[in-house]
A and B are shown apart, each in its own frame.
Chain A
Amino acid sequence: MKIRTGNRLAISALGLIAALLAAGAIGAQPPKPRAPQALAPPQLPRYRFENFTTANGLPDNHVFAVLVDGDRIWAGTENGLAVYENHKWKTYTTSDGLAQRAVLSLALDKRTGDVWAGTMGGLSRISGGRIDSYTQLNSGLSNDVVYGVSVEGENVWVATAAGACRLNLRTGQWSLFNERNTPMIEIWVYGVSATPTKVYYAVWGSGILEFDQKTGRWDKYEDPDGETELVLFKDQGLIHEITSSVSYVDNILWVATYFGDSRYDGRYWHNFLTKDSGLPSNFTNYVKGVDAKSAWFCTDKGLAYYDGANWAVYRPSLTTGKPEMTVRDAQGNVTPVAVTTAPAHNYILGIDFQGDDIWVATAKGLSHGIRQKP
């Protein structure tokens, strides 16, 4: 459902009246421990996690983003861009031409093999070992704080702290997208997902912006409940305005917000909250869709996988710090799974896939989840 900005006040007023009803309507049920006689829990992927920190080669434990590039793994850290290849880490810093040391986002140009890194001080392209950096001073980049980057064809789509923009690699032209030429209200853009047909921007406080590659038109998806923290009707629209990440896969839009997550198939929304799903936290930093039905959610309380019906959560225990995996089936039954390893930290910031394996960016290290066959 697409909600226009003009509807926001009316919807907010309704929200005030119906707050208690709404809370009851989607009232959360606490996770149900699996009864001894219940069926076996669903088989969700299991991993053995190998963790990388400064102790074994990472330049910094704060890993904001991770990117799989064949046999190479790129990690955007607070202190440089690290690449893992042939069991060795190499770090690129500002002395190599990197725009800034804190790397917030990463994208691969699959055609050319070039890697694009969004940093706290500009956008860098790493190509064959050479780094070219674009800043708001030396180029048309809208702002130096680059939260998101995505490459599609000959265009690089960028999410920054002051609007979105697009660099055409063939012409060198920068196009800026902001409150003056799009339905964007806030200009704090956190994430971007570009595909041949659509480009989506996650805008903090302004929901999701959609750019149609064919028509060149913009559209917008907002929370029907406006900026309130209420949910009047479940699955009415985008779960919240404060979006943090977006992923468009197989014509399905996956959205992460700081107040729950959403899935949109072009007609229906489906929202996820901790109280009615296996999501470990509503505060989600990043989402990456696998396909039309499954996705990974990176939250402040662990890494979650959703297969379309069931959930799995991977994290160090929030209480003991011990490795933990839980599985929640479609009926809400939660089953712990015995594991000996977990991601380096439960504050998860990013994920990428390497075949059956996963690589996970966390606040205290980078984790390689090696898929364990049953």
Chain B
Amino acid sequence: MFTLLAVLAGALLRATFSSSDIVQASSTGRVGDSLIYASPVEVLFSHDGARLYVLCQGSDQVRVLDAASFKTIRNVAVGHIPRGFSLSPDGSRLFVANTWDDTLSVIDTGTMAVVATWPVGAEPSSVIEDRECKYLFVANRISNDVAVLDAQTGAEVKRLAAGNGASYMTLSPDGKRLYVTHVYPNSAPARTVPESEITVIDTARAVVVDRIPLHGIAGVFHVAFSADGRLGVAAGLYPKNLVPLAHLEHGGAFADTLTLFGADVGNKPVEVPLDELERYAARPFGVAIMPDKSRIFVTSGGSEMVTSIDLPRLLAFIRGHHGPFVEDLSASSNYVITRIAVGHDPRAVALTGDSRRLIVANRLEDTLSVIDTRSNRLLSTIPLEGSRQLSVLRHGEQTFYTADQSFQGQIGCANCHIDSTFDDLTWDLEPDGMGRNIVDNRPLESLKGTEPFKWNGGNPDIPTECGPRTEKYFWRSETYDDLTLADLATYIRSLPARPNRWRLTDGTLTPAQERGQAIFARATDRFGNPIPLANRCSYCHSGPKGTIQKSFDVGTKKETDDSGLLDTPQLENIALTAPYLHDGSARTLEEIWTVFNPNDKHGRTNDLTKDELNDLVEYLRTR
């Protein structure tokens, strides 16, 4: 019977899927329907503490709950896939950042109606109004900046350069500074230690005044401040991508960290691990600091838990020891009080006004966990309205985001594919020797029609890519049953492409994009010589996804590569996926041709003028 099910599942996986016609791939109570889930990602209390606002990414809503009973008062529809929200200083307006619409929803908290929808930058992920109600600051993940809007009209005043993948923000307690994190590392030379930052903005002048360096960190999420303003805390990932990933059992692929900064820790930020041997805190995300500075609470999405930290002991540890601490698996025992199990993929947290309760949004469970902050115990789990059935897609998504499948629960798919995208890092994956076959991480959007997978084209389909090979080389375990793997593959295959931000809304191309399109499609070079078919952009990057689904040697083989024969990557949203080439050696699209195509093997391009190359890049950004 098991064999039959496995065969059936495998057959289904090889069928054509889309998010609208998912068929049942399991017999474990999971349904094939595309159900709508709430997927809560953020929570916050009204200023009077009477209401709890829950930002539901799956249902595109702000749910307004009674803070005492958790009963629903109202559901407010907002834009598509909201990621962040905040209240105005007087609590009269609730601002919601909608990532796929590139808009802000402005909700009147008196009427609980959306009173305005303002356009902002690319993939707005969080929003905060300054104390004087002069500016709205919006962190834009794709445009890597913070948009400054007129808080009354929504008109954009300017944009400030932030970190790569700018996403989460917090105000200092006095409101004078805004601290911004980002989920992808900043651009750096290939195979160097990742560098990130916390961008510090003067809210009165709306200018960047400092950038706190986060050495070795790639992927920074929520950031919080102590009430006295002396300590900032950010949750982040410390990837070990410069050493082979084949050694998960020797310390892991990531350290899950908190970065502390501010007067309490001196001039330099301090990174401390949350992990301990055999108990990892995979993918730290949400952070809260008790007003009396007794505790820090941190969610870990992959480990499905909240870590409670004794803050005085943590500060004493830092002051009493010499760092770095980040890879020391014995360190956290000095300051971790306990780890509290919560729901699937816990994200943001909020403290009640009296700080006696901590509310946790469990994104992939549609629940809220209520934790007693004095006893560090889970008091209750509040289900949000919606389907309690588990769909194939939902189960696949849970599998994608959990770290349970890996050795000691260290990592999950979402470690490297942040929010189901990628991580902007290059990795040394296979046990083929130190520094061999370095590969750039590729995005997961709209994968149908882009097979085979892996840079060497070695995996014909997603189950092969994500199944035994992943278990063996990544997870160092054998935990997937066939149906779980089927659901995971179904989820991955369902991921759509994000909206392209470089295309004009009417579908036409700008003059530069049109010129670039002609270069992409050209069959003769500037001198009238025919370009061999296999040396035209439009040949290898043909079809709707921009890949002919075959491998070619485009002259990019490095000494560390076993072969120059490489899978043709798809072009969808290519503008978002720097660095480029199989090993991430090209930091920008331009470098693919200005640096790494000396012999025209990667398309005939060396006859192009700089103008023409710029046009080609402009066109590629529309793909």
- B205's contact among A113, A114, A125, by CB below 8 Å, is which? A113
- Alpha-carbon gap, A19 to B512, bound state (A): 47
**Does B265 have its Cβ within 8 Å of any Cβ on chain A?**
no
CB neighbours of A137 from chain B (8 A): 590-591, 594-595
Tell me if A169 and B205 are in contact (CB < 8 A): no
Residue of A nearest to B575 (CB): A172
Please give the residue numbers on chain B whose beta carbons come within 8 Å of chain A beta carbons, in ascending order.
121, 143, 157-161, 186-187, 197, 199-200, 205, 207-211, 502, 512, 587-588, 590-591, 594-595, 609-611, 613-614, 617-618
Residue of B nearest to A129 (CB): B211
Q: List 20 A-B contacts (CB under 8 A).
A: A111-B157, A112-B158, A112-B160, A112-B207, A113-B209, A127-B161, A127-B208, A127-B211, A128-B208, A139-B588, A140-B590, A140-B614, A140-B617, A142-B610, A169-B159, A170-B121, A175-B512, A176-B611, A180-B609, A181-B611
Tell me if A114 and B161 are in contact (CB < 8 A): yes
- Alpha-carbon gap, A150 to B432, bound state (A): 51
Residue of A nearest to B609 (CB): A180
**Does A265 have its Cβ within 8 Å of any Cβ on chain B?**
no
Residue of B nearest to A113 (CB): B207
| A318 → B minimal CB distance (Å) | 43
- Alpha-carbon gap, A128 to B613, bound state (A): 31
- Alpha-carbon gap, A140 to B187, bound state (A): 17
CB neighbours of A174 from chain B (8 A): 614
- Alpha-carbon gap, A175 to B615, bound state (A): 9
Please give the residue numbers on chain A whose beta carbons come within 8 Å of chain B beta carbons, in ascending order.
111-114, 125, 127-130, 132, 136-140, 142, 154, 162, 169-171, 173-176, 178, 180-181
Residue of B nearest to A176 (CB): B611
Tell me if B594 and A138 are in contact (CB < 8 A): yes
Asked whether A130 and B211 contact (CB < 8 A) given A114-B161, A139-B590, A180-B611, the answer is: yes
CB neighbours of A176 from chain B (8 A): 610-611, 614
- Alpha-carbon gap, A127 to B157, bound state (A): 18
Minimum-distance CB pairs A-B, first 7: A128-B208, A113-B207, A140-B614, A137-B594, A111-B158, A128-B211, A176-B611
CB neighbours of B617 from chain A (8 A): 140
- Alpha-carbon gap, A181 to B158, bound state (A): 30
Tell me if B161 and A154 are in contact (CB < 8 A): no
Asked whether A140 and B208 contact (CB < 8 A) given A112-B161, A125-B161, A132-B161, the answer is: no
CB neighbours of A142 from chain B (8 A): 610
Asked whether A113 and B208 contact (CB < 8 A) given A128-B199, A136-B594, A154-B159, the answer is: yes
CB neighbours of A125 from chain B (8 A): 161
CB neighbours of A111 from chain B (8 A): 157-158
Tell me if A130 and B197 are in contact (CB < 8 A): yes
Residue of B nearest to A127 (CB): B161
Tell me if B512 and A173 are in contact (CB < 8 A): yes
Tell me if B210 and A128 are in contact (CB < 8 A): yes
Asked whether A140 and B200 contact (CB < 8 A) given A114-B161, A132-B161, A170-B159, the answer is: no
CB neighbours of B143 from chain A (8 A): 170
- Alpha-carbon gap, A139 to B143, bound state (A): 16
CB neighbours of B210 from chain A (8 A): 128-129
| B181 → A minimal CB distance (Å) | 14
Residue of B nearest to A153 (CB): B158
- Alpha-carbon gap, A128 to B209, bound state (A): 5
CB neighbours of B610 from chain A (8 A): 136, 140, 142, 162, 176
CB neighbours of B609 from chain A (8 A): 180
- Alpha-carbon gap, A100 to B211, bound state (A): 22
CB neighbours of B197 from chain A (8 A): 130
Tell me if A128 and B200 are in contact (CB < 8 A): yes
- Alpha-carbon gap, A132 to B186, bound state (A): 10
| A354 → B minimal CB distance (Å) | 18
| A122 → B minimal CB distance (Å) | 12
- Alpha-carbon gap, A128 to B207, bound state (A): 8
CB neighbours of A180 from chain B (8 A): 609, 611
By CB atoms of chain A within 10 A, which of B161, B186, B200, B205 has the most? Answer: B161
Tell me if B512 and A138 are in contact (CB < 8 A): no
CB neighbours of A114 from chain B (8 A): 161, 208
| B210 → A minimal CB distance (Å) | 6
- Alpha-carbon gap, A238 to B609, bound state (A): 32
By CB atoms of chain A within 10 A, which of B186, B595, B610 has the most? Answer: B610
| A60 → B minimal CB distance (Å) | 26
| A39 → B minimal CB distance (Å) | 48
| B513 → A minimal CB distance (Å) | 9
Asked whether A178 and B611 contact (CB < 8 A) given A128-B200, A173-B512, the answer is: yes
CB neighbours of B187 from chain A (8 A): 132
By CB atoms of chain A within 10 A, which of B159, B186, B614, B618 has the most? Answer: B614
- Alpha-carbon gap, A136 to B594, bound state (A): 8
- Alpha-carbon gap, A138 to B579, bound state (A): 11
CB neighbours of B200 from chain A (8 A): 128
| B179 → A minimal CB distance (Å) | 12
Residue of B nearest to A128 (CB): B208
Asked whether A112 and B208 contact (CB < 8 A) given A138-B590, A138-B594, A169-B159, the answer is: yes
CB neighbours of A113 from chain B (8 A): 205, 207-209
Tell me if A138 and B591 are in contact (CB < 8 A): yes
CB neighbours of B209 from chain A (8 A): 113, 128
CB neighbours of B157 from chain A (8 A): 111
- Alpha-carbon gap, A195 to B590, bound state (A): 29
CB neighbours of A132 from chain B (8 A): 161, 187
- Alpha-carbon gap, A181 to B199, bound state (A): 39
Residue of A nearest to B187 (CB): A132
Residue of A nearest to B586 (CB): A138
- Alpha-carbon gap, A136 to B187, bound state (A): 17
- Alpha-carbon gap, A208 to B594, bound state (A): 31
CB neighbours of B161 from chain A (8 A): 112, 114, 125, 127-128, 130, 132
CB neighbours of B595 from chain A (8 A): 137-138
- A171's contact among B199, B205, B502, B590, by CB below 8 Å, is which? B502
- Alpha-carbon gap, A249 to B614, bound state (A): 32
CB neighbours of B159 from chain A (8 A): 112, 154, 169-170
| A323 → B minimal CB distance (Å) | 38
| A339 → B minimal CB distance (Å) | 38
CB neighbours of B614 from chain A (8 A): 140, 174-176
Residue of A nearest to B611 (CB): A176
CB neighbours of A129 from chain B (8 A): 210-211
Residue of B nearest to A138 (CB): B588
CB neighbours of A162 from chain B (8 A): 610
Residue of B nearest to A133 (CB): B187
- Alpha-carbon gap, A125 to B199, bound state (A): 15
- Alpha-carbon gap, A174 to B617, bound state (A): 10
- Alpha-carbon gap, A181 to B511, bound state (A): 13
| A228 → B minimal CB distance (Å) | 32
| B14 → A minimal CB distance (Å) | 39
Excluding A113-B209, A137-B590, A140-B610, 12 further A-B contacts by CB distance (< 8 Å) are: A128-B208, A128-B211, A129-B210, A132-B161, A132-B187, A137-B595, A138-B590, A139-B588, A140-B590, A142-B610, A173-B512, A176-B611
CB neighbours of A170 from chain B (8 A): 121, 143, 159
- Alpha-carbon gap, A294 to B504, bound state (A): 45
- Alpha-carbon gap, A130 to B590, bound state (A): 22
CB neighbours of B611 from chain A (8 A): 176, 178, 180-181
| A62 → B minimal CB distance (Å) | 29
